[in-house]
Amino acid sequence: MNRIDRAFQRLRAEGRAAFIPFLTAGDPDLTSTARIIVAAERAGADVVELGFPFSDPVADGPTIQSSYTRVLEGGQRSEDVFRLVESVRLESEIPIVAMISYSLVFRMGFERFLERACEAGIDGATIPDLPVEEMGQMHPAARQRGFHLICFVTPATTEQRRSMIVRVARGFIYYISVRGITGERDSLPKDLVENIESLKSLTEVPVAVGFGISTPAHAQAVARVADGAIVGSAIVKRIHEASERGGDPVKAAAEFIGNMARAAKGAR
């Protein structure tokens, strides 16, 4: 069974929502990212979303864009990220989802990407610049390997597209809570609960919410209605700030992730 499915099955049996931190692979460096993933699991993370740095990210706000720029200026490549995951698999079985631009996948070729991702121990991928209509035979190829292509739904997704996404969704559905880019926000959208409940009425696939979740109160509110809360910019920011002041980015990330995970898990 895919690690993502196993995690959500366990959480559903326990009556809890997943906490899913997003990390930029290689920020501040590859060794630190590996240590942060392991520390995140110990702090209460259930799944990790791992960003493959790319020069023109889609929908990412300034915090994550800046982290990508820092990593790319150091010369990191996609193969380095695969090797990072391989090193994590020596001590952790936490589900890992790659967030990767289709440009990188296209350059490798989907079959080669799929092969390399599975070899490394990656369980699924979100490809934000690849619409579900364009995935074609990618879904069957991924299913043959037990690899999940995570689909996005937004507040603006039409009923027709939402129905299509629900039919092919595996692992979990990534619900983008706001119109716009990633980043910390003061409050969550007023229609979030209604939109999540509507989406969940269409599918048994877990629904996790991302974009704009930046405080324990946000995580708790999301976890009351969704199956998971995804947090990125707030974590990436704290990792960078700790590195800049000469602190320990692993400790900073683990402390923040622990607080957010406890809030999410205590919501029900």
Residues marked active site are found at 49, 60
Query: Nearest-5° angle of CA 115, CA 117, CA 122?
Result: 140
Distances (CA, A) of 95 to 72, 99, 105, 212, 225: 25, 13, 20, 22, 22
Place of tokens 């290689």: 26
Strand order in the sheet with 228-231: 148-150, 124-126, 96-99, 48-51, 18-24, 228-231, 207-210, 173-176, 152-153
Q: How far apart are CA 78 and CA 84, in angstroms?
A: 10
